[in-house]
Amino acid sequence: MTKPDPSPARLPDPGTTHDVVIIGGGLVGASLAIALEGSGLDVVLLEASAGDMPEVFDERNLSFAEATVNALSGLGVMQHLQGPPAPIRRIHVSRSGDFGRVRLDAADYGREAFGQVVVARDFGHALEARLATLDGVRRMRPARFLGLEEDAGDARVLRVAGEGGERRLRTRLLVGADGAASAVRDVLGIGTRVDDYGQVLFVARLRTDRAPDGTAYERLGDSGPAALLPRGDRQYGLVLAVPAGEAARVAEMDEGAFLQLAQRRFGWRAGRFLSCGPRSAYPAVRTLANELVRPRAALVGNAAQAIHPVGAQGFNLGLRDALTLAEEIRGAPDCGDPALLARHAARRAADRERTLAFSDGLARVTANPSPLLRPLRSLGLVGLGLSGSLRAGLVGGAMGYRGDVPVLCRGPGVAA
């Protein structure tokens, strides 16, 4: 991996007013920088890591909706993947203890696949390879956002710390892409709503006695979801939610005990669970910013909304944040113009609201053990399985087509 050049000559001139400064070089921040290639804008990407993969680029499995695959292919990122992505040709949703299930087949909708599964670390390498080809984007790393100076009217003045010590940057637009615990969001004074689902999510690579056939499984239950995503290495990516009070005990399980738990929760649809790789754990907490924009500032990705992974919507939603913002600021005389940022927020409203409602509703209703809800859940699954119009709506959302869809998401040859 290319190491950063620490030469001060490559650092932004402190007297320059940049067009865009992106705080955060993770999945969404890096994608936004790539999306601004060729825009003619002076872009600075401020990254906390010094060239090693950020923590977010781990062994998690990312489910890319079709719209996301379209966009990342158009940005030249998918072409840099080191391993083959796995197509999601079928989706199977069921709930333990309830009758009814939903089975969706991409072929029924004239598609080869609903999307693709990529290992986060492989995607990180692909982003890094693509970033290395960019002209017009300056990368500061390692660097840390410290705060803001008093507003300068036509620009934001940032304080950042890097290898050369503390410095100031001026920018017409500040973009917070620094994750769920966003320092940019806090400094801007944007409040949040935080919902703790009381679950911890265990993520691991899983091998079964049957190779994946392109089916993505979502098994819902009182303890939360258990999901299996097909991977390109003929294994599955497992996400297993457990009640927070049981997380410590589950973390201490040996491989055999953990596999038994996962098999009991998931069932036998994908075959016998044989082995799993290292496990990592994440609390299931939803953090929603109350606003997406402030004067000369915008939030994207997890800084704007970090949601429950049920339904695999998080990164897909965050990427659409970034692509919509990139569309708005390309060619704009002032990329921090209030009317421009208001238009960006308005364009994001429908997609954001519908995706949040879907993710939160699925997480809450399906995990509620109340016997009074069981017949309603079962009828819902049966109705969804039988109704073509309801299934079509679910499919459209799963493929990333909600609200005002960015042009790149629509695929090659589609006009704005």
Q: What is the pLDDT of residues 76-118, one digit of tens each?
A: 999 999 989 999 999 888 876 554 467 889 998 899 999 999 9
Kindly state the percentage of the chain with pLDDT values over 70: 82
Neighbour tally for 147: CB within 10 Å: 12
Q: How far from each other are the two terminal CA atoms of the chain, in whole angstroms?
A: 36
Q: Alpha-carbon distance 188 to 299, whole Å? A: 10
Which of the listed ranges 31-35, 223-227, 364-368 does the model predict with the highest average pLDDT? 31-35
Q: Alpha-carbon distance 400 to 30, whole Å? A: 20
Q: What is the pLDDT of residues 261-304, one digit of tens each?
A: 999 999 998 999 999 999 999 898 899 999 999 999 999 999 99
Nearest to 312 by CA among 20, 60, 25, 11: 60
Task: List the beta bridge partners of residue 242.
Answer: 200
pLDDT score for 368: 44
Q: What is the pLDDT of residues 384-403, one digit of tens each?
A: 343 344 445 567 777 888 88
pLDDT of 22 > 90? The answer is yes
Least-confidence region, from 135-139, 225-229, 377-381: 377-381
Which DSSP string do the residues of 323-334 spell out, in sequence order? HHHHHHHTT-S-
pLDDT of 73 > 70? The answer is yes
Which of the listed ranges 61-65, 221-225, 293-297, 312-316 does the model predict with the highest average pLDDT? 293-297
Set out the domains of the chain in order of their start, with CATH numbers.
8-84+117-193+286-371+405-410 (3.50.50.60)
What residue spans of 267-337 are helical by DSSP H?
Answer: 314-329
**Mean pLDDT score, 52-67:** 73
pLDDT score for 360: 76
Q: What is the pLDDT of residues 119-148, one digit of tens each?
A: 988 999 999 999 999 988 999 989 999 999
Kindly state the percentage of the chain with pLDDT values over 90: 63
pLDDT score for 20: 97
Which of 319-351 are b and which e, b meaning 16 or more Cβ less than 10 Å from the residue's Cβ?
Answer: bbbbbbbbbbbeebeebbbeebbeebbebbeeb
Q: Identity (one letter) of the amino acid at 171? A: T
pLDDT score for 370: 43
Nearest to 115 by CA among 106, 128, 126: 106
**Mean pLDDT score, 180-208:** 94
